[in-house]
Chain A
């Protein structure tokens, strides 16, 4: 038999981007401790619906830590108290009976609240659209292992590719900078052979799009702590390097065309 928890929740409610939000207090009674954090919110919502009230909107989709849809500020930490864990992978067994939990949406000027805990993260999509792809014609699919990639490079690209784009790095950053997200997306492609032809175009386009929406990095390091995939800040240094180089390289390229 699992234990049952009685919790006090302080949750941000807001009708839409234009309206003013406020914290509402809810009593969550008899929450099984093997429920996930989002299942706990489901239970609270069922209670609200049965009382004829509007349920609390919160972002979620896969609920297995791979899609990047979930993400809220829990007691002042992005994705809650467990390091390297997305909100959907957080479980109520980490809490004690009688705890108070404060839940707030991600905050950044580029992430306006859509409703309650759901924010609009489309500027992250704009960054991907600026260069997070490979468009050079590559012909038919090459045979497996035809393009040799050193193991270390493949590992580091894979670490970067682990980013699920949840936006916790922006949410945790005192400057609302999207450096960790952008650098992960950039390094994923820029470190691999297939990414080389467009490397510097990509660096310039993605960073400049990022800067239209987000602040800049002052090396606090909150992003890595918040990241459910624990993306290292080393990638931010690689972004800085590739971007500055891109300004020079792209200028040379332009003079050749």
Chain B
């Protein structure tokens, strides 16, 4: 580094002052995760996993509309048959509930990595960036791309609320494994329904920019299908939004109901 002289008025080259020290190099593939490009890769792959989960979760929830059906001599709500079947996956090869737990562990790991990479990248971006004093005129950045940090935090808070609400049970009406009754009990409170609706708008906005970014981050780019990316991301986000906010609305409108007299003793 050049010593400050009267001539350069104490100015040294900013290339002599890295914002980030090069970390001690870990073995592959961890070395990849030490770089921002690698973290973006992890974010894209875990994001794809989480979008897959959201889509499957929504399709599963559509069973709420199917009402009561009889399966193996048991009359129960279709969504409860489905919840039961999820726990029975690959039984008797593996014990009851194990496959579901393996999927859950995968999701927890995916969430953890997605959040950690987002946090770490946001931190380094904040260090690298200096705000303009005058007003910026954005040309390409949109609301979704600029609010990822915030929609991400909202999704996390919503996830915790949703787990407390319908997995762990936050109130006395909660009965483990009784999906239809729990959903109806929870969402018939208009305030809770509103939380679900608002949170799912954030989920859709987050998924829109995530889906749009994913292929770019993974380096999957082909000019012949790039025109599709925006439309595909928008369609997916809209489908997820409509599907997910339909549930609270349908409960409030008594389209999705729970009537204990219709079911025989459950599982």
Q: A17-B11, A75-B137, A240-B216 are in contact. Are A219 and B132 (CB under 8 A)?
A: no
Interface segment out of the listed A30-38, A138-146, A173-181: A173-181
Interface segment out of the listed A39-47, A62-70, A109-117, A188-196: A109-117
A108 within 8 A of B: yes
Instruction: Out of B39, B124, B128, B137, name the residue touching A76 (CB < 8 Å).
Output: B137
- Contact yes or no, A214 B128, CB < 8 A: yes
- Contact yes or no, B148 A240, CB < 8 A: no
Q: Report the Cα distance A237→B217, complex, angstroms.
A: 6
- Contact yes or no, A109 B35, CB < 8 A: no
A221 within 8 A of B: yes
Q: Tell me which residues across on chain B come within 8 A of A17, comparing CB atoms.
A: 11
Nearest Cβ on chain B to A29's Cβ, whole angstroms:
23
Instruction: Out of A104, A111, A244, name the residue touching B32 (CB < 8 Å).
Output: A244
- Contact yes or no, B124 A215, CB < 8 A: yes
Mark contacts of B115-141 with chain A using CB atoms, 8 A cut-off: 1 yes-contact digit, 0 otherwise: 000000100110111111111111111
B146 within 8 A of A: yes
Q: Report the Cα distance A220→B135, complex, angstroms.
A: 17
Nearest Cβ on chain B to A98's Cβ, whole angstroms:
19
- Contact yes or no, B131 A244, CB < 8 A: no
- Contact yes or no, B22 A212, CB < 8 A: yes
* Interface residues in A205-251 (C-beta closer than 8 Å to B): 207-208, 211-222, 224-226, 233-234, 236-244, 247-248, 251
Nearest Cβ on chain B to A159's Cβ, whole angstroms:
11
Nearest Cβ on chain A to B123's Cβ, whole angstroms:
10
* Interface residues in B11-63 (C-beta closer than 8 Å to A): 11, 13-15, 18-22, 28-29, 31-32, 35-41
A96 within 8 A of B: no
A59 within 8 A of B: no
Tell me the interface secondary structure of chain A in the complex.
Answer: mixed
- Contact yes or no, B14 A240, CB < 8 A: no
- A83, closest chain B residue (CB): B139
- Contact yes or no, A107 B141, CB < 8 A: no
* Interface residues in B219-246 (C-beta closer than 8 Å to A): 219-221, 223, 226
- Contact yes or no, B213 A110, CB < 8 A: no
Interface size in chain B (residues, C-beta < 8 A) = 55
Q: A212-B20, A233-B216, A247-B32 are in contact. Are A220 and B141 (CB under 8 A)?
A: yes
Q: Tell me which residues across on chain B come within 8 A of A217, comparing CB atoms.
A: 40, 216-217
Q: Report the Cα distance A224→B216, complex, angstroms.
A: 14
B215 within 8 A of A: yes
- Contact yes or no, B37 A120, CB < 8 A: no
Q: Tell me which residues across on chain B come within 8 A of A213, comparing CB atoms.
A: 14-15, 18-20, 128
Tell me the interface secondary structure of chain B in the complex.
Answer: loop
Q: Tell me which residues across on chain B come within 8 A of A10, comparing CB atoms.
A: 134
- A103, closest chain B residue (CB): B134
A161 within 8 A of B: no
A53 within 8 A of B: no
Mark contacts of B70-105 with chain A using CB atoms, 8 A cut-off: 1 yes-contact digit, 0 otherwise: 000000000000000000000000000000000000
Q: Tell me which residues across on chain B come within 8 A of A211, comparing CB atoms.
A: 20, 35-37
- Contact yes or no, B139 A225, CB < 8 A: yes
Given A219-B212, A234-B226, 5 more pairs with CB closer than 8 A: A18-B10, A108-B128, A212-B19, A220-B140, A237-B218
Interface size in chain A (residues, C-beta < 8 A) = 62
Q: Tell me which residues across on chain B come within 8 A of A123, comparing CB atoms.
A: 14-15
28 CB contacts below 8 A, A to B, read A18-B10, A76-B132, A107-B129, A108-B129, A108-B130, A109-B127, A109-B128, A120-B11, A123-B14, A175-B129, A176-B125, A176-B129, A176-B130, A177-B128, A212-B20, A213-B19, A215-B124, A215-B127, A215-B128, A216-B37, A216-B125, A220-B145, A222-B141, A237-B216, A239-B37, A240-B40, A240-B218, A243-B35
Closest 10 CB pairs of A and B: A241-B219, A237-B221, A221-B140, A76-B137, A215-B128, A216-B36, A212-B18, A240-B219, A215-B125, A122-B15
Nearest Cβ on chain A to B135's Cβ, whole angstroms:
5
- B214, closest chain A residue (CB): A219
Nearest Cβ on chain A to B126's Cβ, whole angstroms:
8
Q: A216-B124, A236-B216, A243-B35 are in contact. Are A104 and B134 (CB under 8 A)?
A: yes
B261 within 8 A of A: no
Q: Report the Cα distance A12→B226, complex, angstroms.
A: 39
Q: Tell me which residues across on chain A come within 8 A of B137, comparing CB atoms.
A: 75-77
- Contact yes or no, B146 A174, CB < 8 A: yes
Q: Tell me which residues across on chain B come within 8 A of A242, comparing CB atoms.
A: 219
Q: Tell me which residues across on chain B come within 8 A of A102, comparing CB atoms.
A: 134-135
